[in-house]
């Protein structure tokens, strides 16, 4: 097994370099406005729509940035990862574009649409029980057996740098943001967004938003060290069902973040319904975290310019319909 992990801490310059590297390969997603949202929150909101990114989520940025660093031997042997869905799809497409094999370990209860899309992009999918089995242990064993390179969803210098390019684009397009809200699962997007803000908008206050049932990051910041929680199966935000932040991401978040707040499942559904009814866009529960956090987490954003990263839009349509009908 080889692994594209580095003991070096990613930097703001790594995010800038990733943006140059990814130019023309990722979509420069639109920034949408909503006068209704502005009135509701008494602020100016700017929505970065990564639900319209390739594979339907911001994850493609980090996946392609990481896989494009492979040498010839690594490309021949291929890539392996673990993911509930969005990173899975991103790795699968990036591997197909770079002509390499991909093996994805997914929880057996992952959304059917995400599992199907991962296979359609050309990756092999293996499943595991997220309650009784450890995905990282399984992935490491499979990587050793097959000689594949492990690229985890967040804890990786090139993944973190690539994920940060979404915030970099937003901050360049909309200068002088006072706040930026970013969803948190494994912490890679928040870490990359913090580095992007450090590079181009150092006065912007950046908050992470986790599901209430999976607030390991919030607990970690309060404790001053990484806190690992049981698998948060109960939240509808399947893309944020992480049990702990990784050391690379946590170090950046602990040093740079204003804080991590939470949103409840009903608040996520309310945000999804708003996106569908008022902005005419499909957003998955995890993708709605940032907006729900800005609405309900008690941060006083009145009169401010606020960035919201909509991280993804991959949701099974029957499940999505049930959310909106409730």
User: For the chain, how big is the Rg over CA atoms in Å?
Assistant: 18
Active site residue 59: yes
Q: Quickly count: other Cβ atoms within 10 Å of residue 105's Cβ.
A: 21
Nearest-5° angle of CA 109, CA 260, CA 213? 35
User: Among 34, 83, 113, 311, which one carries the catalytic annotation?
Assistant: 311
User: Among 34, 48, 59, 154, which one carries the catalytic annotation?
Assistant: 59
Q: Can you give the three-state secondary structure of 155-215, one letter per residue?
A: CCHHHHHHHHHHHHHHHHHCCCCCEEEEECCCCHHHHHHHHHHHHHCCCCEEEEEEEHHHC
At 131, which helix (H) or strand (E)? none
Alpha helices in the chain (DSSP H): 12-22, 35-41, 59-67, 72-77, 86-97, 112-120, 135-146, 157-173, 188-200, 216-223, 247-256, 265-274, 289-296, 317-325
- Is residue 285 within 8 A of residue 293, CB to CB? The reply is no
Active site residue 220: no
At 105, which helix (H) or strand (E)? strand 102-107
For the four alpha carbons of 137, 142, 144 and 147, in that order, the dihedral sign comes to negative
Catalytic residues: 59, 311
């Amino acid at each position: 097994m080889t692994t594209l992990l580095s003991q070096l801490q990613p930097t703001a310059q790594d995010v800038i370099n990733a943006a140059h590297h990814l130019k023309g390969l990722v979509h420069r997603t639109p920034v949408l406005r909503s006068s209704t949202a502005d009135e509701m929150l008494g602020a100016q909101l700017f929505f970065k729509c990564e639900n319209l990114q390739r594979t339907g989520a911001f994850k493609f940025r980090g996946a392609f940035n990481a896989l494009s660093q492979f040498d010839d031997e690594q490309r021949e042997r291929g890539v392996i990862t673990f993911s509930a869905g969005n990173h899975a799809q991103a790795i699968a497409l990036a591997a197909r574009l770079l002509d390499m094999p991909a093996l994805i370990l997914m929880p057996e209860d992952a959304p059917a649409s995400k599992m199907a899309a991962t296979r359609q992009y050309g990756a092999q999918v293996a499943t595991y029980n997220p309650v009784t089995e450890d995905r990282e242990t399984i992935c490491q064993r499979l990587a050793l057996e097959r000689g594949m390179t492990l690229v985890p969803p967040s804890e990786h210098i090139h993944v973190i740098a690539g994920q940060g390019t979404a915030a970099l684009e937003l901050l360049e397009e909309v200068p002088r943001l006072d706040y930026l809200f970013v969803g948190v699962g494994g912490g890679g997007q928040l870490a990359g967004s913090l580095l992007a803000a450090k590079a181009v908008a150092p006065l912007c206050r950046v908050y992470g938003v986790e599901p209430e049932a999976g607030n390991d990051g919030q607990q970690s910041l309060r404790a001053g060290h990484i806190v690992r929680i049981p698998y948060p199966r109960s939240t509808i935000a399947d893309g944020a069902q992480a049990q702990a932040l990784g050391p690379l991401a946590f170090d950046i978040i602990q040093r740079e973040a204003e804080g991590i707040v939470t949103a409840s499942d009903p608040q996520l559904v309310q945000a999804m319904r708003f996106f569908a009814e008022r902005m005419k866009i499909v957003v998955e529960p995890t993708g709605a975290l940032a907006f729900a956090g800005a609405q309900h987490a008690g941060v006083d954003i009145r009169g401010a310019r606020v960035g919201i990263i909509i991280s993804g839009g991959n949701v099974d349509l029957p499940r999505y319909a049930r959310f909106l009908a409730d």
